[in-house]
Amino acid sequence: MSYEKVAQAQKTIIGIKQTVKAIRAGKVIEVIIAQDSETRLITPVVEEAELHRIPVSYVDSREKLGESCGIEVGTAVVAITG
């Protein structure tokens, strides 16, 4: 389901650093994280999302998450902005 949510979102932010910045700026309404990502990489995103009470959803694959964003490489994190 979250793959479709990402594909249908009008505005997304792709990547860990950009997502953390956007969360801090108050622009993010939901975060999608690929479960096959390294824990040490996604931990800052999860912590920041929890701190700002932003819902976090998980999907299986970085590759599929990247595809749903319309990019040709995998991505660990996508933020849906409002």
Tell me how long the chain is: 82
Q: Whole-model pTM?
A: 0.91
Residue-range domain boundaries for the chain: 2-81
User: Of 11, 6, 16, which is closest to residue 47 (Cα–Cα)?
Assistant: 16
| CA separation, residue 41 to residues 5, 8, 21 (Å) | 23, 26, 15
Half-sphere exposure of 54 (CA within 13 A, CB side): 26
Percent residues over pLDDT 70 in the chain:
99
Residue 34 CA to residue 24 CA, distance in Å, equals 21
Q: Domain 2-81 falls in which CATH fold? A: 60s Ribosomal Protein L30; Chain: A; (3.30.1330)
Q: Give the whole-angstrom CA distance, residue 42 versus residue 54.
A: 15
Pick 7 or 65 by higher pLDDT: 65
* pLDDT tens-digit readout, 3-38: 888 888 889 999 999 999 999 999 999 999 999 999
